Amino acid sequence: MGKHELEEAFIAMIRRYERTIYKVCVCYTSLEWPLADLYQESVCRLWAGFPKFRQECSLSTWVYRVTLNTCLTGVRRSIRRPQSVPLVSNLAEALAEPEQMEEELREMYALIRRLGPLERTVVLLYLEENSYQQIADITGLTLCNVATKLKRAKIKLRQMVNA
């Protein structure tokens, strides 16, 4: 595949999975890692890995894995950095939400962001209508562990809503 064909195939892939990349990044947005930075870093890593993609899994699974790993790496780096005092007390106020998102979706994503990284991932993949097997393939968890994590995350989300 020539350079021009590779670029065209990559652009088509990004267009196809743009919402997926965006949704994963939204769940890992923080003061240290704004949405635009996570999205850009994810696209850069997808570009770097695209020529090496061996089709051992589906393209959607690969996009999820690369994007998720990029976001988790950013979260881990943030944890290792010295903590700074944020200028705003509420993370949800600091995040620029897309205007087309309805209020209920914003509230749902704000609650999801309060979950731990792995729970966030499982819930996000579930909301994207991935099967438990697909979630296991993407995250590296067992099917049983996916079910357990999802159940616990649902309980926590219900408790947050009712609090």
Please write the tens of the pLDDT for every residue from 26-42. Answer: 888 777 778 888 899 99
Is residue 8 pLDDT above 50, yes or no? yes
Decide if pLDDT at 110 tops 70: yes
% of the chain at pLDDT higher than 70: 82
> Where does the pLDDT of residue 76 fall: very low under 50, low under 70, confident under 90, or very high at 90 and above?
low
Q: What is the pLDDT of residue 86?
A: 42
pLDDT in tens, 111-129: 888 888 888 888 888 888 8
For residue 71, the number of C-alpha atoms closer than 13 Å in the C-beta half-sphere is 27
pTM here is 0.58
Nearest to 46 by CA among 11, 90, 74: 11
Reduce the DSSP state of residue 153 to 3 states and report it. helix
pLDDT > 90? residue 46: yes
